């Protein structure tokens, strides 16, 4: 079931006209009222519709027509149902989950609706350059492929297909600590810099080796993720895993995910995560508690790579980050899968921009699905915009070609928005181009 309001509306429109729904005797208006509060309510309502329509246990009978090739896609949402068809339901749950009732996923999307565009006319926009520079490297687009773990759970080529797409379209890619491809392989396939996303380990000796390895491999930057330090409660992931009839233990030694546990399932599964294996057994230096700013200082001292923090959402933390010498920030709530704040990242962005005062780059992520979303973030002061699920929909649907198509669609939409706003470079985009809706 699509979680995005636009896809949901399209799906509902399809369902409302479906002979199956009519045959079920369910009133489409009632159906419309029932849907839309949370992923959990959506799933329950769909299950009801399926039972009434006589298609138990499968969404197939009620699916809208799917695109057959990346070229058929009109927007990134077109990839979602194709990916859902291809990806096993437990893995789909891992992709789709937020925390608690998934409300922050919806909040991230709704945040963009609070801003409207102020288009400008009669400016020569025949040539437009949407490129940005990050730490000396020029990219033709501000759209960043954010770290997403375990990509071979979505397509057999996983991060390798994504790195190929990043190379073909020249986008910045950030590789997760829990990727199913090593940082060395990702950089080799990308044929250019890939940033490394860091999940710290309870043993500093191991964390330090991971950082040094990323640096040796040629990563110019690491993004230390700070939004899961308190854990997260991912109910949709657990619920969907329970619906999967396959034997999880065949691949995951720890079995299916457990309630109340975020990301990691079981340490024994690290053998499937190349960035977590192959380190020397040095005398352990165990962390005391969870990381604080002291850890950030240590991280900075341990590497000459740029160090970014991923998951900052307040002006206070942004200012502290600059004080501690951090080189950049991701305004992020982990795509609504960290704390269930119900606050959109686009709403958090202005206070982070104020805290940073232009001193370091800011990447904003969370719910970016349209070129207009990217434009609004840049207008509010972001340097670039990160995407997670949309490119995984492309990957799950059509592998590398799907990822490339998602990037091309978002880039085209963004450049059209730039032109409609009378801006020909990213530097020209500012607050005067948007207004509260």
Q: Give the C-alpha separation, 211 to 48, whole Å.
A: 49
Each residue 381-420 as x (binds ligand FMN by CB under 6 A) or -, in order, gives -----xxxx-------------------------------
Active site residue 59: no
- In three-state secondary structure terms, 385 is strand
Nearer to ligand FMN, 368 or 414 (CB): 368
Contact 219, 177 (CB under 8 A): no
Contact 410, 370 (CB under 8 A): yes
Q: Are strands 362-365 and 328-331 parallel, antiparallel or unpaired?
A: parallel
Each residue 99-128 as x (binds ligand FMN by CB under 6 A) or -, in order, gives ---------x--------------------
Q: Considering only 76-84, 111-119, 365-373, 376-384, which stretch makes contact with ligand FMN by CB under 6 A? A: 365-373
Q: Binding of ligand FMN at residue 130 (CB under 6 A)?
A: no
Q: Give the C-alpha separation, 314 to 319, whole Å.
A: 9
Q: Give the C-alpha separation, 261 to 5, whole Å.
A: 27
Each residue 180-219 as x (binds ligand FMN by CB under 6 A) or -, in order, gives -----------------x----------------------
* The Cα angle at residue 102 between residues 174 and 5, in degrees rounded to 5: 90
Alpha helices by DSSP H, listed for 171-203, are 183-190
Q: How many residues bind ligand FMN (CB under 6 A)?
A: 23
Distance of CA 200 to the CA centre of its chain: 20
Q: Give the C-alpha separation, 214 to 299, whole Å.
A: 13
Q: Which of 155, 171, 252, 334 is catalytic?
A: 334
Sign of the CA dihedral with 7 first, then 335, 328, and 193 last: negative
Contact 435, 118 (CB under 8 A): yes
- Taking the complex as a whole, how short is the minimal distance between the CB of residue 166 and ligand FMN, in angstroms? 14
Alpha helices by DSSP H, listed for 263-388, are 293-301, 315-323, 345-356, 371-379
Q: Considering only 26-34, 206-214, 267-275, 331-339, which stretch makes contact with ligand FMN by CB under 6 A? A: 331-339
Q: Considering only 29-37, 48-56, 77-85, 329-337, which stretch makes contact with ligand FMN by CB under 6 A? A: 329-337
Quick one: which of 367, 371, 381, 396 contacts ligand FMN (CB under 6 A)? 367
- Taking the complex as a whole, how short is the minimal distance between the CB of residue 225 and ligand FMN, in angstroms? 4
Q: Binding of ligand FMN at residue 257 (CB under 6 A)?
A: no
Say what angle helices 389-398 and 158-169 make with each other, to 10 degrees.
110
Q: Give the C-alpha separation, 171 to 90, whole Å.
A: 29
For residue 191, what is the DSSP state?
A: T
144 to 183, contacts with ligand FMN by CB under 6 A?
146-149, 176, 178
16 to 55, contacts with ligand FMN by CB under 6 A?
none
Nearer to ligand FMN, 96 or 424 (CB): 96
Each residue 58-97 as x (binds ligand FMN by CB under 6 A) or -, in order, gives ------------------------------------xx--
Contact 269, 277 (CB under 8 A): no
Q: Are strands 194-198 and 221-225 parallel, antiparallel or unpaired?
A: parallel
Nearer to ligand FMN, 311 or 381 (CB): 311
Nearer to ligand FMN, 130 or 388 (CB): 388
Q: Binding of ligand FMN at residue 225 (CB under 6 A)?
A: yes
Determine the residue with CB nearest ligand FMN: 388
Q: Give the C-alpha separation, 241 to 256, whole Å.
A: 7
Nearer to ligand FMN, 91 or 208 (CB): 91
| Residues at the interface with ligand FMN (CB under 6 A) | 94-95, 108, 146-149, 176, 178, 197, 225, 310, 332, 334-335, 365-368, 386-389
Q: Which residues are catalytic?
A: 334
């Amino acid at each position: 079931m699509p979680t995005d309001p636009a896809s949901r509306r399209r799906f509902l429109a399809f369902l409302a006209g479906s002979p199956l729904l009519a045959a079920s005797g369910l009133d489409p208006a009632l159906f419309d009222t029932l849907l839309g509060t949370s992923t959990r309510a959506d799933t329950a309502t769909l299950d009801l519709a399926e039972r009434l329509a006589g298609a138990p246990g499968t969404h197939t009978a009620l699916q809208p027509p799917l695109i057959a090739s990346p070229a058929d896609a009109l927007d990134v949402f077109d990839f979602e149902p194709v990916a859902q068809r291809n990806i096993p339901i437990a893995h789909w749950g891992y992709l789709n989950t937020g925390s608690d009732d998934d409300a922050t996923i919806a909040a991230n999307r709704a945040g963009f609706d609070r801003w409207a565009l102020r288009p400008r006319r009669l400016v020569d926009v025949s040539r437009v350059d949407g490129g940005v520079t990050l730490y000396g490297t020029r990219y033709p687009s501000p759209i960043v492929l954010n770290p997403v773990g375990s990509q071979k759970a979505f397509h057999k080529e996983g991060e390798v297909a994504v790195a190929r797409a990043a190379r073909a379209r020249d986008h910045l890619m950030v590789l997760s600590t829990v990727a199913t491809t090593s940082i060395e392989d990702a950089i080799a396939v990308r044929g250019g810099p890939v940033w490394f996303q860091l999940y710290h380990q309870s043993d500093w000796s191991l964390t330090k080796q991971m950082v040094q390895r990323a640096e040796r491999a040629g990563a110019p930057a690491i993004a230390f993720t700070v939004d899961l330090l308190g854990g997260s409660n991912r109910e949709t992931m657990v619920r969907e895993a329970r619906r999967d009839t396959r034997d999880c233990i065949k691949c995951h030694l720890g079995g299916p995910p457990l309630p109340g546990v975020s990301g990691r399932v079981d340490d024994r599964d690290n053998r499937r995560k190349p960035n977590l294996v192959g380190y020397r057994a040095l005398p352990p230096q165990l962390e005391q508690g969870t990381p604080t700013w002291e850890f950030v200082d240590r991280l900075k001292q341990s590497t000459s790579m740029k160090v970014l923090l991923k998951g900052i959402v307040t002006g206070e933390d942004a200012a502290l980050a600059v004080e501690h010498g951090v080189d950049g920030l991701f305004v992020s709530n982990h795509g609504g899968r960290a704390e269930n704040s119900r606050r959109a990242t686009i709403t958090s962005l202005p206070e982070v921009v104020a805290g940073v005062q232009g001193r370091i780059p800011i990447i904003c992520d969370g719910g970016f699905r349209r070129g207009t979303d990217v434009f609004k973030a840049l207008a509010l002061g972001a340097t670039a915009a990160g995407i997670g699920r949309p490119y995984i929909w492309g990957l799950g649907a059509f592998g590398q070609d799907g990822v490339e198509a998602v990037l091309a669609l978002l880039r085209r939409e963004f450049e059209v928005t730039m032109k409609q706003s009378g801006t020909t470079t990213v530097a020209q985009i500012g607050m005067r181009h948007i207004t509260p809706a």
